[in-house]
Amino acid sequence: MKTKALYIVLIINMLLLTGCWDQKELADISLAVGMAIDIGEDDKYVVTVEAINPAELNEQTAGGNAPTVIFSLEGNTLAEVAHKMNIGFSKIVIYSHMKTVVISKAIAEKGMLDFIDFLDRTREIRDDFNFIMVDEGKAAEVLKVLYTIQKSSSLKLTKQLKTGARLWGLDPDIRLADFINAYTSAGRQPVMAAVRIHGDPKKGATVDNLKKSELDAIVEIDSLAMFRDEKLVGTLPVEETRDYLWLQNRIKTTIVSIPCEKDNYIAMRLIHSHTKIKGDIQKGRPHIKLRIRAEGYMNGNQCNYPLNELGTYLKYEKLAADYIKERISKTIQQVQEEYGVDIFGFGEVVERQNPKKFKAYKNNWDEAFQNAQIDVEIDIKIRRSGLVSKGPLLRNE
């Protein structure tokens, strides 16, 4: 009996010690850090993958060669192309570490539901990558532009978007899950960051671009792409991305340049910001109340008002509040009148706070949004003047 029990234990242990049946050795894989999706012939997908060359990303082993390998392939579906990449790559391509997926404007205008299904469904791809659009040209060109400081285009874009969002409010920080959640929501439409290539993409794709202080090409954050369901309807300038982020309560810190006299400005660094939104439907019309509170300190003063006087602070606080209110109100009005899509999520606010009233507008919320009354209230407090209360302009008087 004891012998039989021992055999059973040994068999169970053997099953537990089999290891990962689908494991892959490091020497046998290529890590894809970026993917670009374009339209090819006969409406097929052209998928471009950027795989890193680890030796060139390591300072000790770098030999001045290309830091990444780029390969493109055409097919009817993303699933087909993703698993056929060994037509060009010698190793197994691993997609679980992708940082960026770039789509062309043509893809965005056509509709993205088909390939989004693959990205969402497959277990080999995480949903934490940056989801962005290129406003002009091919998406593949974005992955080919080399950058001196961070040699991988995808890794550079990831850092660029993260830093831009933290320091100014340049990036809506959209992941695949965010896009899908907005697509399936009755009270919000999807958005994503859009980029463009400044300079010559062909010259920017050469190793020589890594050896120059003034680059032949560089990828810049350009605008905010707006969608109705899965299709692109338009873009907002990058300055208005910040207005969008105010309403998402996602401004971490930013600099605001506010007119104070003719051709003169004050620069204010806002470091604490909080947005509250209330939504209701009254007499068949949505009513949205926005309240934004922010604190900051002076970063520059071109105007002839000393910062050691209380009256100057009160004046500048009002100028800042009026300026931000005007910008946000204009951005909302532009989206209402020109595009007619609720990218701000006001419908979700109404649904959350007044679900019974929202139910009647659930299937046509974008139409109701176009007629919504928006009330904006801004409260700005200046806590410090910076290192000096009187700048050079006042010291000479």
- All domains in the chain, ordered by first residue: 23-238 (no CATH), 253-397 (3.30.300.210)
Q: How confident is residue 211, by pLDDT bands cut at 50, 70 and 90?
A: confident
Q: Does residue 159 have a pLDDT over 80?
A: yes
Angle at which helices 176-184 and 113-121 cross, to 10°: 120
Locate tokens 């060359």: which residue? 53
C-alpha to C-alpha distance for 284 and 280, rounded to whole angstroms: 10
Cβ neighbors of 257 (< 8 A, separation 6 or more) are: 265, 266, 267
Q: Does residue 27 have a pLDDT over 70?
A: no
Amino acid, single-letter form, for residue 7: Y
**Mean pLDDT of the region 161-171:** 92
Joined tokens for residue 140: 């593949």
Does the global pTM surpass 0.75?
yes
Q: Does residue 396 have a pLDDT over 90?
A: no
pLDDT for 172 equals 93
Strand partners, 223: 194, 237
Q: What pLDDT, in 10s, does the model give residues 302-325?
A: 888 888 889 999 999 999 999 999
C-alpha to C-alpha distance for 316 and 59, rounded to whole angstroms: 49
pLDDT for 362 equals 93
Q: Where are the alpha helices (DSSP H) in 26-77?
A: 54-57
Q: How confident is residue 31, by pLDDT bands cut at 50, 70 and 90?
A: confident
Q: How confident is residue 23, by pLDDT bands cut at 50, 70 and 90?
A: low
**Mean pLDDT of the region 23-33:** 70
Q: What pLDDT, in 10s, does the model give residues 263-289?
A: 899 999 999 999 999 999 999 999 999
C-alpha to C-alpha distance for 127 and 172, rounded to whole angstroms: 16
**Mean pLDDT of the region 23-42:** 81
Strand partners, 32: 51
pLDDT for 106 equals 96
